[in-house]
Amino acid sequence: MDPHQPQLIGDCLIHIFTFLTEEDLVSVSGVCKDWHEAAETPWLWRRMCLQRWSFCNLSVLGSENVNHSWKRYFQRRCHLETKMTKGQSGGYTCKSLRGHAGRVVGLVYLQGNSSQQPDLWNSSATVCSASTDGTVRAWNIKNGELLWCSPVQSPLTGIVSDEQHGVVITADSTGLIKTWQSQTGQELASFSTASSHCTLLQYNINNDWFLTVGTSQGSVCTLADLALTKKSSIMVCDSFKVNILLVSPDKKWITAGTKDNDDLSPKVFYTESLTSPSEDEDPLCKSVPVAGCQAAVFIPTQPARLAIIDQSHRALTVFDVSIKKSKYKSAEILVQQVKFFNLELRHSDILLQAKDSNCIVLAAGEQLWVYSLKGDLLASFKDHTRPISSISVDSFRVVTASQDLSLRVLTWRNDRDRGLTLESQYHLLGGSHTMSRGFTHVACDYSSIVASVEGKDGKDVLKAYSFTS
């Protein structure tokens, strides 16, 4: 290289440094002034950030006084992920959130630390829990503070949240649906379904807010806006409880079904026919060609790809859902099988989640499996000694909660030979077996894990693990 062309030298060094790891890039920056300037080039660190996380936002680095740089972002986020991956003592704090006088039936994040725009310094995540004691409680999970508690009502049976609008939705044992303002706990509206158990599904289409409710009588009721205005109601499962209720990523399709009958196939509805029903036409609906349904999930990175485990637990089938329109006849839903493979599961309770376009996570009994949609077994784990009760899957990790009173944390990684796979990392304990029966629910955001522990005295406790300390 010509020493009289310093710009050419710098460009060549920057190109060579694109092949280095973070550790090597830091090392070569100490060789000489030219290497240091090349290694500190923001473009290099920006490239490393986007290769690793796809989406990054420098504004999350802290206050205006902090020197924002791609290198600082990369190193800080790597540091946080290292703490979350190793789970070593001192790398996280654990708070016990006490106050419920009954069983926790569900917990949701009201304000989480998004993996798209994570707070790399101080997460202010809040979680809301619902209990059979008839109360909804909101918590600051980092300091363990109770933010608000709702008035006592009938035992609660379910809870979901909408972070976008700052709303919590609950259902109680009388079928009363309520919406709550997530910041203050103020009740916003209520609607009665007269159902002893409700399955809740909240979704937004453009700027419109909807809630679809599956009842114990087998019907599906759709409500609109935060005032809970009834839009439609349709029978789905005869007299069997609707306990499978999903919306597709493109929000065009809703799947509803029951786990309680081997002969009833789940149904797919055109969402618009539920949210804006026609007076002279029934909702557009199609039965999925499987013998019953034990578990189902929409693939998150596809518009409308549905994976279903049949009632006999012997196979997983993947369908694409679309609509066929014609000038001469009514629109028709098409449910086309695209994948099928055998499972031969022996457990009655199955948990099913999906990570991306080619990866599903399945838990049954004490075991966890990761399959590709082609049916290839990518990984399997039997870390727990008692059945897995809940799983949480995101782009960074999988957390399993078990009746053995432990959480198992596994992280995703790309293997050169096998592609995407899962790696078991560590476990988190939930307390004493003399006082507790095990974990029942688990939820995660980017930098925290919250799970409920079933107390032997009938009073459940939340355990909050925060990795931003």
> pLDDT: is 67 or 140 the higher one?
140
Lowest-confidence pick of 69-78, 243-252, 304-313: 69-78
Q: What is the pLDDT at residue 68?
A: 64
Strands 167-172 and 156-162: antiparallel
Residue type, 350: I
Per-residue pLDDT averaged across 327-341, rounded? 84
Here the tokens at position 73 are 């972002």
- Rounded to the nearest integer, the mean pLDDT of the chain is 87
Q: What is the pLDDT at residue 65?
A: 44
Of the candidates 124, 119, 236, 234, the residue with the CA atom closest to the CA atom of residue 183: 124
For the chain, what's the residue count? 469
Residue 431 scores a pLDDT above 50: yes
Residue type, 92: Y
Cα–Cα distance between 390 and 107 in angstroms, integer?
12
Per-residue pLDDT averaged across 381-410, rounded? 93
Cα–Cα distance between 411 and 333 in angstroms, integer?
38
Give the predicted TM-score (pTM) of the model. 0.88
Here the tokens at position 318 are 């993947």
Q: What SS3 class is residue 451?
A: strand
Residue 306's H or E segment, with its range, is strand 305-309
100-117 confidence digits (pLDDT tens): 999 999 999 987 777 767
DSSP 8-state code for residue 155: P
Q: What SS3 class is residue 322?
A: strand
Residue 122 scores a pLDDT above 70: no
Are the beta carbons of 240 and 257 closer than 8 angstroms? no
Place of tokens 């939705």: 169
Here the tokens at position 79 are 């540091």
Residue 7 scores a pLDDT above 60: no
Q: What is the pLDDT at residue 384?
A: 94
Q: What is the pLDDT at residue 67?
A: 54
Cα–Cα distance between 171 and 201 in angstroms, integer?
11
Percent of the chain with pLDDT over 90: 54
**Integer-rounded Cα radius of gyration of the chain:** 25
Beta strands in 141-289, from DSSP E residues, in sequence order: 145-149, 156-162, 167-172, 176-181, 187-192, 198-205, 208-215, 219-224, 229-235, 244-247, 253-257, 267-270, 285-287
Cα–Cα distance between 452 and 160 in angstroms, integer?
16
Q: What is the pLDDT at residue 62?
A: 54
Cα–Cα distance between 361 and 353 in angstroms, integer?
5
285-313 confidence digits (pLDDT tens): 999 999 889 999 999 999 999 999 987 76
Cα–Cα distance between 60 and 53 in angstroms, integer?
14
Place of tokens 């473009």: 43
Q: Which domains are assigned to the chain?
A: 6-80 (1.20.1280)
Per-residue pLDDT averaged across 419-431, rounded? 86
